[in-house]
């Protein structure tokens, strides 16, 4: 039977063959170079479009000409959000390098895993993260030869870009550093934009390596190519409500190291000529204060931010009237929460505040679906309210299927892949040019993640020709809108961050008092997130379980970044209740 393939209601965009750097700067002359590009929300220090181009090409020049890195090398960025990010990322890309991005809260062990796996050499980091970096580089796992060798790999990012711009108001001396500093690499020369991109194979060349566990196992390097990014940016532009450089400003609280923040907040606004106001993390007061101060119109968030907006008193202490759109993604968003935030933030005398969703994965670069602003577009008699909770329609250049059965991933022929009947649920499969090239050096994970195009030899896959299995269960309604209704894969999402159960389990198994363990996510409607919870079999059965739970919970905190802490109830009471529910379910089944 022919597969049931869903397409976008929007027309396809032409596929381009150019580097992501050329693409990012393709609209450069359309907007004045004095126009603010990235603004530090707390200090107001601003990099305009001209600065970004100038600094990126200068950093790229130094990387190449100071022999810090050669074409194809991987640079790691390990820093909270700051206005240094575009300089580092665009500069590294201009020099023909790959970038990998680490969670700024990563521990030395987590960092070592990614540093080695991505084969990174240079690491750009902040003064605050230096200790962890040095610990990582000199650890057994990485084992650099000497302290000097470790120091040679570090590029220190400025705490304060005022020094770099020469606009620092005090006459104090610049702090002395034994490390190469970003600012020292910004005045040695400048690449000519064109010369860097000869020989870029946009279809095949990997430029970003974000880390995702996919459907199972430990985090893996996701090979995102230039063409994945140029395609996703172009299709997002056509699905996103129109933005105006003069009227719109976007607030970046989502981390740039995660694909959602990276593409939608670091790359996308610059391409559209819109200013991005950068905060290092989410803090309710700073969030509201920044919306008032910079008259933010668009913000991209995760559902737990909306929970805060629905409850925190600070929303009434600041003027939030500039907000036009809040885009939520990375985890499910319920209609009740949308209603609660809308009525709280938006008195009826103001233009509407749209709270809509996007959907995607690290592996799809990321956006595949967006909910349009209704009824701003011509969508018959649909109202915005009727689509609360939907992830919207498929973006152009992509195809989707909802697969009811693929023999648990072992389907070998097209006949063995059964699509869900109309209106029924199935696993979302996606195909198109923005789907990743694959997981880095991991043929087993790639074999699980893709269903091949059977008429094309797997040794030479045409980009976008294979079906990527998302591990999410969805349905499509009569209007062609998609709804994510369940997750088939193991992944746990804590406030939009990935928590791979296999990673936590392998760490927990190294604890001497733990004989066996299983990690799951438990739903918290109050916080609108899942919470990671471990079930432990003690090595010594006579041990006090509650004490062990507490001990293990504290111990995990020394091993992993904050979002992976075990939060899903440590008390015996909660555990017992849950186990009882579990037992009842088993008996009923």
Binding positions for ligand 4UW, rule: CB under 6 A: 212, 259-260, 264, 300, 327, 329-332, 357-362, 366-367, 391, 470-472, 484, 487, 493, 496, 498
Q: Are 66 and 182 in contact (CB under 8 A)?
A: no
Q: How far is the CB of 491 from ligand 4UW (least distance, A)?
A: 6
CB count in 10 Å sphere of residue 27: 14
Residue nearer to ligand 4UW on the CB measure, 68 or 263: 263
Distance CA 196, CA 193 (A): 6
Nearest to 122 by CA among 66, 176, 63, 80: 63
Distance CA 506, CA 500 (A): 10
Residue nearer to ligand 4UW on the CB measure, 51 or 437: 437
Q: How far is the CB of 445 from ligand 4UW (least distance, A)?
A: 14
Q: How far is the CB of 82 from ligand 4UW (least distance, A)?
A: 21
The terminus-to-terminus CA distance of the chain in angstroms comes to 34
Q: How far is the CB of 212 from ligand 4UW (least distance, A)?
A: 5
Distance CA 267, CA 26 (A): 12
Q: How far is Cα of residue 198 from the mean position of the Cα atoms in its chain? A: 29
Residue nearer to ligand 4UW on the CB measure, 40 or 427: 427
Nearest to 397 by CA among 4, 2, 14: 14
Strands 249-252 and 450-451: unpaired
Residue nearer to ligand 4UW on the CB measure, 75 or 262: 262
Q: Are 97 and 63 in contact (CB under 8 A)?
A: yes
Counting Cβ atoms within 10 Å, is residue 176 exposed (0-12), middle (13-18) or buried (19+)? exposed
Run of H or E residues at 206: strand 206-212
The SS3 call for residue 205 is coil
Nearest to 290 by CA among 300, 301, 302, 278: 278
Q: How far is the CB of 98 from ligand 4UW (least distance, A)?
A: 19
Residue nearer to ligand 4UW on the CB measure, 63 or 473: 473
Distance CA 237, CA 12 (A): 12
CB count in 10 Å sphere of residue 506: 14
Helices (H) and strands (E) in the chain, counts: 17, 28
Q: How far is the CB of 589 from ligand 4UW (least distance, A)?
A: 25
Residue nearer to ligand 4UW on the CB measure, 137 or 391: 391
Residue nearer to ligand 4UW on the CB measure, 379 or 482: 482
Distance CA 113, CA 110 (A): 5
CB count in 10 Å sphere of residue 524: 16
Residue nearer to ligand 4UW on the CB measure, 25 or 327: 327
User: Which residue's Cβ has the minimum distance to ligand 4UW?
Assistant: 329
Q: How far is the CB of 287 from ligand 4UW (least distance, A)?
A: 17
Residue nearer to ligand 4UW on the CB measure, 36 or 241: 241
Residue nearer to ligand 4UW on the CB measure, 62 or 362: 362
Q: How far is the CB of 512 from ligand 4UW (least distance, A)?
A: 32
């Amino acid at each position: 039977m022919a597969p049931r393939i869903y397409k976008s209601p929007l027309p396809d965009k032409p596929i381009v063959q150019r580097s992501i750097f050329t693409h990012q700067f393709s609209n450069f002359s359309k907007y004045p170079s004095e126009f603010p590009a990235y603004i530090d929300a707390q200090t107001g220090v601003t990099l305009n479009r001209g600065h970004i181009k100038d600094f990126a090409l200068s950093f790229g020049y130094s990387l190449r000409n100071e022999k810090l890195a050669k074409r194809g090398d991987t640079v790691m960025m390990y820093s909270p959000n700051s206005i240094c990010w575009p300089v580092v990322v665009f500069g590294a890309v201009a020099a023909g390098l790959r970038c990998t991005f680490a969670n700024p809260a990563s521990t030395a062990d987590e960092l070592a895993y990614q540093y080695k796996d991505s084969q990174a050499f240079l690491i750009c980091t902040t003064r605050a993260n230096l200790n962890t970096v040095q610990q990582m580089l000199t650890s057994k796992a990485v084992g650099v030869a000497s302290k000097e060798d470790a120091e040679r790999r570090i590029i220190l990012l400025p705490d304060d870009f005022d020094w770099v711009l020469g606009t620092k108001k005090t006459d104090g001396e610049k702090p002395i550093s034994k490390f190469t500093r970003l600012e020292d690499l910004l005045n040695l020369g400048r690449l000519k934009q064109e010369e860097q991109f000869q020989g870029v194979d946009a279809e095949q060349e990997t430029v970003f390596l974000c880390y995702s566990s996919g459907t199972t196992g430990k985090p893996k390097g996701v090979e995102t190519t230039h063409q994945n990014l140029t395609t996703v940016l172009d299709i997002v532009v056509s699905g996103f409500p129109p933005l105006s450089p003069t009227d719109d400003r976007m607030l970046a609280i989502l981390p740039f190291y995660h694909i959602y923040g990276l593409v939608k907040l670091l790359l996308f606004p610059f391409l559209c000529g819109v200013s991005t106001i950068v905060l290092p993390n989410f803090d309710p007061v700073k969030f509201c204060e920044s919306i008032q101060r910079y008259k933010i119109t668009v913000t991209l968030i995760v559902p737990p931010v909306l929970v805060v907006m629905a409850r925190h008193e600070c929303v009434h202490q600041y003027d939030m009237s500039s907000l036009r759109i809040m885009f939520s993604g990375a985890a499910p968003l319920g209609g009740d929460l949308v209603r609660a935030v809308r009525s709280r933030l938006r008195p009826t005398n103001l233009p509407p505040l749209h709270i809509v969703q996007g959907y995607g994965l690290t592996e799809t670069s990321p956006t595949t679906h967006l909910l349009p602003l209704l009824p701003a577009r011509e969508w018959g008699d649909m109202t915005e309210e009727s689509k609360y909770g939907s992830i919207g329609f498929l973006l152009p250049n992509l195809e989707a299927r909802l697969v009811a059965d693929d023999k648990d991933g072992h389907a070998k022929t097209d006949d063995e892949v059964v699509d869900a009947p109309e209106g029924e649920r199935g696993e979302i499969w996606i195909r198109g040019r923005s789907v990743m090239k694959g997981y880095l050096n991991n043929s087993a994970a790639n074999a699980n993640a893709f269903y091949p195009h059977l008429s094309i030899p797997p040794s030479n896959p045409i980009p976008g020709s294979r079906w990527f299995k998302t591990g999410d269960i969805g349905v499509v309604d009569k209007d062609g809108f998609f709804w994510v209704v369940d997750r088939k894969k193991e992944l746990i999402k804590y406030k939009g961050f990935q928590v791979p159960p296999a990673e936590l389990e392998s760490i927990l198994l190294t604890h001497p008092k733990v004989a066996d363990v299983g990690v799951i996510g438990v739903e918290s409607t109050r916080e609108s997130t899942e919470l990671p919870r471990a079930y432990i079999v003690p090595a010594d059965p006579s041990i006090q379980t509650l004490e062990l739970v507490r001990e293990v919970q504290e111990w995990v905190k020394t091993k992993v970044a904050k979002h992976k802490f075990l939060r899903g109830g440590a008390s015996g009471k909660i555990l017992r209740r849950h186990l009882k529910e579990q037992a009842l379910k088993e008996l009923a089944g």
